[in-house]
Amino acid sequence: MKVLFFPMVCLASFAVADDFKTNAGKEYKNVTVSRIEPDGIVVKTKSGITKVYFTELPREVQDRFHYDPQKATAFSAEQSANYAAHQKQEQEAQHQQEEAAAKNKAILAQQEAAKNRIQSLQNRYAALQREEDTLLQQIGEAKQPGPAHRVGKKLEHQRASAESAKIAATASPESS
């Protein structure tokens, strides 16, 4: 029973509500310390979660949480470096996304232009087919003799016969 009591006391002391007052006079009442970092403490308040830096707190609070200025400086520098690296990664990722979006947009524009060219060629091909059909029809009509052609041939034949008869008639009296 004594073994279980010790961890419960440790957890209870960590979860106990505290009151803090910063060097600037800002008060934090009934806050729960949720995390201790080398440069400050993270506390839960009624309005949310916030970080209070040790440099803003009185010496007795700093000592209570074992504040070490050298560790805090190193931690802050590491956090700043991590943040800068994270920002750089996010900028690179955003840049890559923008490049990919631009490439996709260019590809879509090329596809749309190709689609328009294909449609234009198909329309031109259809127009040429219609023109070819019309020309073939006109050629077919020109090859077939129509009624005027037949009448014209008959007249030509009659003229040729008449001329042959005249020539024969004029040639006959002389030969007799």
For the chain, what is the domain count? 1
- Please identify which residue in the block is written with the tokens 């995390």: 35
Helix, coil or strand: residue 145: coil
Domain annotation covers residue 19: yes
Instruction: Check if the beta carbon of residue 27 is closer than 8 Å to that of residue 20.
Output: yes
- The answer to whether position 36 is within a domain reads yes
Looking at the predicted structure, is the pLDDT value of residue 89 above 50? yes
Kindly state whether residue 83 falls inside one of the protein's structural domains. no
Assess if residue 146 is contained within a domain: no
Vertex 162: Cα angle to 160 and 166 (nearest 5): 115
**Which residue type is seen at 97?**
Q
Q: How far apart are CA 29 and CA 5, in angstroms?
A: 28
What single-letter amino acid sits at 165?
A
Report the range of poorest mean pLDDT among 1-5, 79-83, 148-152. Answer: 1-5
What's the whole-model pTM score?
0.47
- Rounded CA-CA distance 78/85 in Å is 10
Residue 50 lies in a domain: yes
Those residues with Cβ within 8 angstroms of residue 74's Cβ, 6 or more apart along the chain or in another chain: 38
> Does the pLDDT at position 9 exceed 50?
no
In a domain, 37, yes or no: yes
pLDDT digits (tens, 9 = 90+) for 101-117: 999 999 999 999 999 99
Residue 28 DSSP SS3:
strand
Residue 123 belongs to some domain of the structure: no
Cβ atoms of 54 and 30 closer than 8 Å: no
pLDDT confidence of residue 20: 86
Domain assignment present for residue 112? The answer is no
Beta carbons of 36 and 54 less than 8 angstroms apart: no
Q: What is the DSSP string of 61-81?
A: HHHHTT--HHHHHHHHHHHHH
Q: Mind listing the pLDDT tens digit for each residue in 45-65?
A: 999 999 999 999 999 999 999
Domain region containing 56: 2-67
CATH number of the domain that 43 lies in? 2.30.30
pLDDT in tens, 30-45: 999 999 999 999 999 9
